[in-house]
Amino acid sequence: MELIEHLDNIKNPFRNAVITIGNFDGVHIGHQALFREVVQQAEMINGTSVGMTFEPHPISVLSAERRPPLITLYEQKVELIEKTGIQVLICVPFTLEFARISAETFVEDILVRRIGAKIIVVGPDYTFGADRTGDVEFLKEYSKRFDYDVIVPDWIQASFTRSGRISSTRIRECVMDGRVAEARHLLGRFYQIRGTVVSGRNRGGKLLGFPTANIRLHDELCPRNGVYAVTAEYNGKTYQAVANIGYSPTFDDRIYTVEVHLLDFNQDLYNQKIRVNFIERIRDEIKFSSIDALKQQIQADIVETRKILANHK
């Protein structure tokens, strides 16, 4: 996939460009359906499949206090879009100046003249341009003048959500509530956080007998406090693991941590980057009466994790 990080870097219009446009936070299965449609349409007209997204998220610029934590930061979003088969991803730096571009200018100057759009694929609620004056009907009206087609696929439905519709908001709610198994169905993959292993409180291995990787998060969105069955990706390999998120109430630290114990693993992870995939929530954080009681519970958590992960191979 070709990544273009500024509109000025587009030298010539793409051949028969088929494009979808959006923030695509989470790159969930609804977004993936749009990308699949783009790829299929491009193949049919011997064209170029194109995605357009924005960095930072427009809400960060227009109303920073309202911006929710992102499901996927830029690096992961690019990786996930590439997996859909899109040939070109245009990431537009979102600024107040860009936000003031009229809907007419966005269609004529950017989509048609600069990118060469022949087919535009968007969701039913897509809006664009200054004050969101552009929408699907606007695109259809302008298609008569600029000779492109507009495709608006139906929403991808999920029966277990309240509205039936898959959205980034629903996924965010699932993750923050610890319902990571439900989030998986909406994302089409396990929810993942990324981070760097930093020095912890030196208790996991020495005191408890279960060495843990203390993670400094790169992500903004973290699941609800508790213990989870997870997998950890490190150095190209995937390991079974148990994650604890929270404040370690047994020790009364009141310091928020994300700690991961990799099963059957004895390498030094300090300063290394790892990725953690959340499979299922096991339990809440509990304050134990003794270190021995905590050790017994950790051992039980490991047994439960092995059972859970055995069903997710």
Task: Among 3.40.50.300, 3.40.50.620, 3.40.50.170, 3.90.1150.10, name the CATH number for the domain at 2-151.
Answer: 3.40.50.620
**Tens digits of per-residue pLDDT, 215-252?**
999 999 999 999 999 999 999 999 999 999 998 777 66
What pTM was computed for the model?
0.92
pLDDT at 161: 46
Q: What pLDDT, on a 0 to 100 scale, did the predictor assign at position 77?
A: 98
Q: Are strands 88-93 and 48-55 parallel, antiparallel or unpaired?
A: parallel
Amino acid identity of residue 293, one-letter, is A
- Residue 66 is given by DSSP the state G
Per residue in 190-217, pLDDT tens?
A: 999 999 999 865 554 445 668 889 999 9
Taking Cα atoms as reference points, which of 294, 215, 210, 293 lies closest to residue 248? 294
Low-confidence residues in the chain, pLDDT < 70:
158-164, 200-209, 251-253, 313
Alpha helices in 12-135 (DSSP H): 29-44, 58-62, 74-83, 96-99, 103-105
Strand, helix or coil for residue 204: helix
Instruction: State how far the alpha carbon of 5 is from the alpha carbons of 2, 27, 133, 173, in Å.
Output: 10, 18, 25, 30
Residue 287's pLDDT is what?
A: 83
Parse the chain into domains and list their residue ranges. Answer: 2-151, 191-310
User: What are residue 54's DSSP bridge partners?
Assistant: 92
Contact between residue 199 and residue 256 where contact means Cβ atoms under 8 Å apart = no
Task: Kindly report the CATH number that applies to the domain delimited by 191-310.
Answer: 2.40.30.30
Give the pLDDT confidence score for residue 226 in this predicted structure.
Answer: 97
Task: Output the average pLDDT for the chain.
Answer: 92
